[in-house]
A and B are shown apart, each in its own frame.
Chain A
Amino acid sequence: MNPLASIGRASLGMSRTTGRLALFAWRCILAMIRPPWFFGQIWRQILSIGFYSLPVVGLTAVFTGAALALNIYTGGARFNAESFVPNIVGIGITRELGPVLASLMLAGRVSAAIAAEIGAMKVTEQIDAMRTLSTDPFRYLFAPRLIAALIVVPLLVLIADIIGVFGGFAVATQSLGFNGALYVRNTMDFITSWDVGSGLIKAAVFGFIIALMGCYHGYVSGRGAQGVGRATTNAVVSAAILIFASNYLLTSLFV
C-alpha cells in the first residue's frame, strides 16, 4: 500500500506544480503583452542578463569551438575526412552547441540570480509591499525579465556562434595546418541562414525558460535563507532540464 501511496503523492505533487507553473507562465505572458510596460526595468534587465553575461558566454563558445575542431579532426582522420572540420564546426556550433551551451551557462548565471533576488524580495515582504502600492509584480518584476531574456539570449547566442566558429578557426589554422582563407570560405559556403536562424529560435525559447524558471522559483520560494537557497538550486536545475527537453523537441521540428 505504501509504495502506491508514495507514487500517488508524487503524481499529485507533480500535477500541482505543473498547474501552478502553467498559471504563473500564463500570467507572465499576459503581463508581457499588455501595457503598461516598465521600459526602465526592461533596459536594466537587458544590461544585467545580456551585457554582463558576455564574458561567460564568449569564453564558453571559444573553448567549445576549439575543442570541437580538435575532436572532428581526430575523428575525421580515421576515414580521411579532416577537411570537414570547418563545415561540422560551423553547423555544430550554430544549430546545437551555441544555443544549448550558452543557455546552460545563462541558466547558471541568470536563473540563479533572478531566483535569489525575487526570493529575497518575497521573504522580506517586498513583493507584498509592491502589491499594497497598487503595482502588479507580474508587470514590474517578471515581465521585464522575460522580455529582456527573449531579446538578449538570441543576441548572446549569435555572438556565441561567431566566437565559437572563431575558436574552431583558431585551432584549425594554428595547430591543425588549415589555410585561414579556405577555412572561412568553407564555413561561409556551408552554413545556411536556417542553421543560424533555427539556433536563434531555440535561443529565444531557452531565454524564456531561463527567466521563467528564475522568476517562478523565486516567487514560490520558502522562508529564510534555506528557502531562497533551495529556490536558486531549483531554478538552475529545472531551467537546465527544460532547456535539454525543449532542445530535443525543437531539433526534431527543425530537421
Chain B
Amino acid sequence: MSSDPKISIVGLHKSFGSNQVLQGVDLDIAAGKSLVVIGGSGTGKSVLLKCILGLMAPDQGSIRIDGEETTRLSQKDRARVAGKFGMLFQGSALFDSLSIWENVAFRLIHADHIPRDKAKEMALQAMARVNLAERNADLSPAELSGGMQKRVGLARAIVTRPQILFFDEPTTGLDPITADVINRLIREQVTDLGATAISITHDMESARHIADEIAMIFQGKIIWRGPAKDIDNSGNPYVEQFVTASADGPIDVMGG
C-alpha cells in the first residue's frame, strides 16, 4: 500500500473453545477501495467482520482504523468509531417494532440526536437513493419482501454517509435478479460515497460485481489476495476450486 491503510489488521486470532476460527489474519484495506473476502462456510468470514466492527473481541492481534487501535476501546470510544461504519447485515437485521423510516433513521435519532422531522427527511432521501418509494416509509419490516428489506438495510447503512461500509452476505437468500439489483446498488453507493468497503460472501457473482480486490480466507488465514479481475487466473488451487465451485480439489468439503 502506498499510503496509510484505512483499515489495518495484523495477526488476528479468535478461538471458541478448542475451535480456532481466526489463526493470524493479516489484511490492509486502502481508503476508498472495496475488498471482498470470499471463503466457505465456517472459515471465519463472519467472525473477522464482527471483530472489525467491535461486536466481538479478538483473542490476539491488532485492528487499526485510521491508525487508531480499536481492539481495546472504551464503550464511548467504540460508539465514536462505530460512527464511521455502515453495516448491511445478512438478514437485514431490521428492528421489527419500528417502521421503515424509523429503522433508516435509527442512528440519526438515537445516537446523533437529530430531531425526528429532520431525521425522517434524511431517511427518505437515503431510501430514494436505494430506489425505495416514500409510500413504504410507514410500513413495518414484516410487510416487505426480502429484497426490499435488503434495500432498507442498505439505506440504513448509508444514511449518515459513513466512511466504511460492511456487507455481510448481501445477496444470500435473494433471487438472481434481486441479487443483481442489490449488487448494483452496493457498487453505486460505495462509489458515490467514496467509502472503503469490506464485504464477505460466497457468491462469486456478487464478489465480481462489488469488489476492487478479492481476498480468500481458508482455515482462519488469508491465503490469496488480488485484483477482482484476476480471480479467474489466481494460480491458487484453493481459489480455483472455490471459484469453479468444484467438489474436487484441496478443500476437503466432506471432511468438515
Residues of A at the B interface (CB closer than 8 Å) are 38, 120-121, 124-126, 128-136, 140
Smallest beta-carbon distance B229→chain A, Å = 31
A136, B82: Cα distance in complex, Å: 11
A128, B85: Cα distance in complex, Å: 13
Smallest beta-carbon distance B55→chain A, Å = 5
Cβ–Cβ < 8 Å partners of B111 in chain A: 133-135
CB contact list, B185-238 vs A, under 8 A: none
B89 touches A128 (CB 8 A): yes
B110 touches A133 (CB 8 A): yes
A128 touches B50 (CB 8 A): yes
A29, B111: Cα distance in complex, Å: 20
Cβ–Cβ < 8 Å partners of B139 in chain A: none
Main secondary structure of the interface of A (DSSP, over half): helix
Are A125 and B93 CB-contacts (below 8 A) given A133-B107, A134-B83, A134-B107? yes
Most buried by B among A120, A121, A125, A134: A134
With beta carbons under 8 angstroms apart, the residue of B82, B83, B90 that contacts A125 is B90
Are A132 and B110 CB-contacts (below 8 A) given A125-B89, A125-B93, A126-B95? no
Given contacts A124-B93, A135-B106, 20 further A-B contacts (CB under 8 A): A121-B95, A125-B93, A126-B93, A126-B94, A128-B50, A128-B55, A128-B89, A129-B87, A129-B93, A129-B95, A130-B95, A131-B55, A132-B86, A133-B106, A133-B110, A133-B111, A134-B83, A135-B79, A136-B75, A140-B110
Cβ–Cβ < 8 Å partners of B106 in chain A: 130, 133, 135
A sample of 12 cross-chain residue pairs with beta-carbon separation below 8 angstroms, ordered by A number, consists of: A124-B91, A125-B93, A126-B94, A128-B55, A129-B94, A131-B82, A132-B166, A133-B156, A134-B80, A134-B111, A135-B107, A135-B111
- Kindly state whether residue B32 has any CB partner on chain A within 8 Å: no
- With CB as the reference atom, state the residue of chain B lying closest to A139: B110
Cβ–Cβ < 8 Å partners of B95 in chain A: 121, 126, 129-130
- Kindly state whether residue B54 has any CB partner on chain A within 8 Å: yes
- Kindly state whether residue B36 has any CB partner on chain A within 8 Å: no
